[in-house]
Structure 1
Amino acid sequence: MQFVALASGLLFASSLTLTFADAAWAASREGTQTARAAPARTLAKQTISYGRDKLQTLDFHAAKNVRGPAPLVMFVHGGGWSKGSKDNATGKDKAPHYTGEGYNFATINYRLVPNARVEQQAQDVADALKALLDRAGQLGIDKSRVVLLGHSAGAHLVALVGTDPRYLRAAGLTEQDIAGVIPIDGAAYNVPEQMKSARGPWLGNMFTKAFGTDPARQRELSPTFHTARPNAPAFLILHVQRTDGISQSNALADALRKAGTEVTVKSFPGKGLKGHMTINRSLGDPDYAATKAVDDWLTRIFR
């Protein structure tokens, strides 16, 4: 396997982009947050570079109505490993919801296929987390309470980082720097199996561009094959009603349980591409069922 990692000693430049749109979100929740202390942070959003490539950036949204360090939820977008960005694939509800719940929220960009390999994308996830944890004091992050959240290709990447320790170690971190991982409707946890079941030339070509034709490399990029310890301490695996998403989610969960890792699987309505997109776009909407499932899990993990 060709394993590409960014040097953990890389000096990260950062640029700050401030917006005060979050103030409206905080105001809308003021009545439900009276039991909490007044907010300690005034910057609504910061854009931080965690590497030299233009895509190695993230947006950080500070927790609302809390004083002192708050937990961090870091989101990794999907897009078939070759498309998407934090700006068009995060969904409109996540940042206001999670910051309103008293959590810091970050959403990252990462380098895309074919200009980068999937190994580099997983390293980008780990390096983005390292950049945030290195700034924990100034950003108000509780380093002991961090969860990775990812959708589709992003679900695969957070699951890979949470099961294969090489990416975190290359960034100067370990699995103990993550309290949990939430993969959302991924279906490439077992890459060889996914590629066998891919229907139509479009899907087949997408997977081939991402994972190549070497079975050994495909296995190395499969979270299911890395579930022997060490893993992130806990997983919440979400899926809608897609055949491959169901089978791959359950197989990953079985492998994690066999290794003694805590795992919960939650199933939600929705079929095909529409269901696959809905669970991402709607997460954070208080009326959407998956939002409560994630909220309850985060409350327990962050307790």
Structure 2
Amino acid sequence: MPAPPARRRFLRPALRSASSRFAILGMALALALPAAAGPLRDRIEARRAAQAQGTEAPTDELNGDDGSSAGNAELPAGVVRIADVAYGPDPRQRFDVYRPARGEGAPVLVMVHGGAWRLGDKGARGVVEHKVAHWVPRGFVFVSVNYRLLPQADPLQQAGDVARALAAVQAKAAGWGGDPAKVVLMGHSAGAHLAALLGAAPALAEKAGARPWLGTVALDSAALDVERIMATRHYRFYDAAFGADPAYWRATSPTQALVAGAPPLLLVCSSIRPDQPCAQAHDFARRAQALGVRAEVAEQARSHKQINEELGTPGDYTARVDAFLSSLDAAVAKRLELR
């Protein structure tokens, strides 16, 4: 029987876009699946998380397609893209380089996408588009990194991939006009966890051949304190990532891994998320400061997805990240004063 007109009017906005239809499908399936349907339910939940982050375009919840790629998008004038540079033998061990057509001595931003440690792609628009448009014309090299995902690689192995990518960027940067001594590591969501883990314990990156970098920017990680997450009620995809071993929780927790001598960290967090990532960010910052490590928290009244997608657009948020970058190095600050 058709819905009455008032109900049709109520439902129509919710069903207007493909993303809404897929989100509703995903929620319905997730609620309908029993706990024993673990892998499928985890994949649905992880995909919904990735779509909310902007690391993946709205696609079929079950088909495994990656999101839309910025590789076919028109690049800003004067930006050159070098695609799929290998830093290891696996097809996921690749990164894309966006560099100015001319110039040398450029600071380098290394970006790590999110996706619940299971999904996501280096070319997703939310990961790349506005960041490239903001920083590359100002004389930066921007590198977007892929890494192996669950179930192929667990978060510690993923952090190892990011460390290898960082080492490869430092080794190759001069060939793109970049300065290997002026590298900043950045990540969003699961990628922010991986970046923060390496930033908290740089020895993990040094084992892969990486040299010290200027600083780390973690964009809305809710997994800074993995022990706290796993000991309380949490999303099921955390179980797929971190398992049931408290020793592994500690090994993958940036808060527990933090050591004196770590490079400066900027912790951007959403102040409107119900799981309150800013509480973890402030706890991490207090622990860092007690160790003599510089750590700053930048609360944003933005969604998790907006924190990723809107970085690079004009406004106070991008200016706050630029201020942190400028504070790391005089040459970086000079680039950001050009416009």
TM-score of the two chains, using structure 1 as the length reference: 0.80
- Aligned residue number for residue 38 of structure 1: none
- Aligned residue number for residue 322 of structure 2: 295
CA contact (8 A) 1:91 1:282 kept: no
- Aligned residue number for residue 306 of structure 2: 278
Matched-pair identity in %: 33
Q: Distance in 1 between matches of 2:288 and 2:100?
A: 31
Alignment of 1:26-65 (within 5 A): 26=78, 43-63=80-100
Q: Distance in 2 between matches of 1:182 and 1:82?
A: 21
Larger Rg: 2
CA contact (8 A) 1:63 1:98 kept: no
**Worse overlay, 87-96 or 153-162:** 87-96
Say which SS state the counterpart of residue 129 (structure 1) adopts: helix
Q: Distance in 2 between matches of 1:276 and 1:198?
A: 20
Q: Distance in 1 between matches of 2:82 and 2:133?
A: 11
Q: Which AA in structure 2 matches 1:229?
A: A
Q: Distance in 2 between matches of 1:45 and 1:124?
A: 19
- Aligned residue number for residue 92 of structure 1: 129
Say which SS state the counterpart of residue 231 (structure 1) adopts: coil
Alignment of 1:175-214 (within 5 A): 177-199=212-234, 203=235, 205-214=236-245
Runs of at least 5 residues in structure 1 that lack an aligned partner in the other structure? 1-17, 27-41
Alignment of 1:1-303 (within 5 A): 21-22=74-75, 24-26=76-78, 43-63=80-100, 67-88=103-124, 89-174=126-211, 177-199=212-234, 203=235, 205-232=236-263, 234-241=264-271, 242=273, 243-270=275-302, 275-287=303-315, 289-303=316-330
RMSD over equivalenced CA pairs, Å: 1.9
Say which SS state the counterpart of residue 257 (structure 1) adopts: helix
Q: Distance in 2 between matches of 1:160 and 1:189?
A: 8
Q: Distance in 2 between matches of 1:80 and 1:19?
A: 25
Query: Which structure has more helix as a fraction of its residues?
Result: 2
Number of residue-to-residue matches in the alignment: 257
Q: Distance in 2 between matches of 1:87 and 1:67?
A: 24
Residue 262 of structure 1: how far off its partner (Å): 1.1
Over residues 116-143 of structure 1, what are the superposed CA-to-partner deviations in whole Å (9 max), with x where a residue is unaligned? 1111100111100111111122111212
CA contact (8 A) 2:188 2:219 kept: yes
